[in-house]
Structure 1
């Protein structure tokens, strides 16, 4: 096969996890019935971009167990390029539990990922060849939190892609429980953000990471440190965007009923990244991010609400 036909549009790296969603609106300790789905911030973005017609290469590791097999089947069905998903016989596939929240609030979440297969990813797993020629690399602040070797891998991939002139997008996606200290989290996440072309923090995340009190200050912080474009997620109020084309607010998209907030930020990233790949201005990219995020919160699973092009009203 011609090597150029194997080049993905987008490459991302992260941990795919089995998701066990409560089928009863009770505290997790009292739930007896769960439904299996899939989770993982980078996996959500990969699936979302694949549904919009992009070729997506996913870099990860799964345990050679039933959870890993189920995830692999799901990713294959979604059309992801899995050449660099490694099966690990020594370490298990991570999983998480999620409660059912009927009032639209953030559900209770518990992770079981310490020592997982993906936490043993390292610089040795960085792909070469076609993956090094992808148009865009997407990273989050979750992968570097999994282990020292994962942190080294993420920073190396970001530096390589930025140095080669490829676009790098970054979602801080803070998970404080995965980090040894808040200081370590802030230092590493901001180091990765400084290697990205596009940084997409939430307002609360941005305040913690930068010490700035508003979206404009957060954007200034990252623009001064190397980012070319910044989009700050404002929840139902929309998103603040800043870059060479100017600044502004893309209004939020009204939602009749919020079912599950988990995965909304990943959906937002799908909208922004897909629009930028199509050459649209940042204002329209932020608006598409709002549209996809608003759709995702109306479904229970992390991936279930990610739209196809026709569902998003695109040709």
Structure 2
């Protein structure tokens, strides 16, 4: 009997959806042709880390349909370990349609995900996960927004990771339209963030979740609740870092032309998390986050701009030393 591959060193979970991107600009109601891909913030980060050589496990649910098959094949082709990807015979794979824009603005996105397979997540989906073999868990605020049972899974994943001594990064990734109220979203996501080691909100997200204005104060909010470090996405301005002993801002990289802003924050997360897992300094980690985030907005697609390790090494070799 052939033994199963080594359990993943990095665990990720969330909803992967089949993505249809308009091939021409304009209202989605007028578009006749789309290009197929996959979408999902959690998926983007998983793919980005896998491209950098990490053994990433993906926990999710897809429908027992052609879209679910496509997602599995695509993720496995990217090097993800899909042993915890379940095919649900009773519920469909989620779909997302994205408009094409040519002016660098945020594209209009429409979802067909209500009642999707992933919305039926529950802690039972994680029963076979080997947390003892894992090194790190990356989580976002999207799964707990999908349903009550998916929220239970999110808390279950973070609690089991903490019990096993696994490092945790958490990106709030706000999806207000999926929540019953702002208060419910705020309380749930701040509770999850309090269980993480590294918290990675965007500045606008942090303001909405904490009621505070500055990056310094937002970071302090999460440090006071148990985070080891808070790394805040500042968009084109770069990234802000604060832990118990230091705080600083690293400027972003100039981009001549913004093609597609979707996935920029996920690219930033890939850069920061991968660098910290590589044992690099916080300054280098934020700079890598800025670098990958800047690359993500220069191509069309959610994860097409995420580099493989060899390309990242080339890009970083050309950078000047940090002060």
Q: TM-score range by the shorter chain?
A: over 0.9
What corresponds to 1:25 in structure 2?
25
Distance 1:136 1:162 in 2: 10
TM-score, normalised with respect to structure 1: 0.97
Structure 1 residue 131: deviation in Å?
Answer: 4.1
What corresponds to 1:191 in structure 2?
191
Distance 1:274 1:42 in 2: 15
What corresponds to 2:295 in structure 1?
295
Deviations 1:277-310 (A, max 9, x none): 1111222111111111111111111111110112
TM-score, normalised with respect to structure 2: 0.94
Structure 1 residue 7: deviation in Å?
Answer: 2.5
What corresponds to 2:217 in structure 1?
217
Structure 1 residue 133: deviation in Å?
Answer: 2.4
Q: Spell out structure 1 runs of 4+ moving beyond 2 A.
A: 127-133
What corresponds to 1:98 in structure 2?
98
Deviations 1:222-270 (A, max 9, x none): 0001111000100000011001351100110111111000011111111
Distance 1:44 1:113 in 2: 18
Structure 1 residue 311: deviation in Å?
Answer: 1.5
What corresponds to 2:175 in structure 1?
175
Are 2:16 and 1:12 aligned? no
What corresponds to 1:120 in structure 2?
120
8 Å CA contact retained: 1:57, 1:131: no
Cα 1:137/1:55, change in 2 over 3 Å: same
What corresponds to 2:151 in structure 1?
151
Structure 1 residue 2: deviation in Å?
Answer: 7.0
1:299-314 equivalent positions in 2, closer than 5 A = 299-313=299-313
Secondary structure, counterpart of 1:24 in structure 2: strand
Secondary structure, counterpart of 1:110 in structure 2: strand
Gapped regions of structure 1 (runs ≥ 5)? none
Distance 2:40 2:278 in 1: 25
Distance 1:268 1:222 in 2: 19
Are 2:65 and 1:65 aligned? yes
Distance 1:118 1:129 in 2: 17
Distance 1:104 1:20 in 2: 19
Q: How many residues align?
A: 314
Distance 1:48 1:19 in 2: 17
Structure 1 residue 130: deviation in Å?
Answer: 3.0
Distance 2:283 2:143 in 1: 28
What corresponds to 2:88 in structure 1?
88
1:49-60 equivalent positions in 2, closer than 5 A = 49-60=49-60
Distance 2:260 2:66 in 1: 26
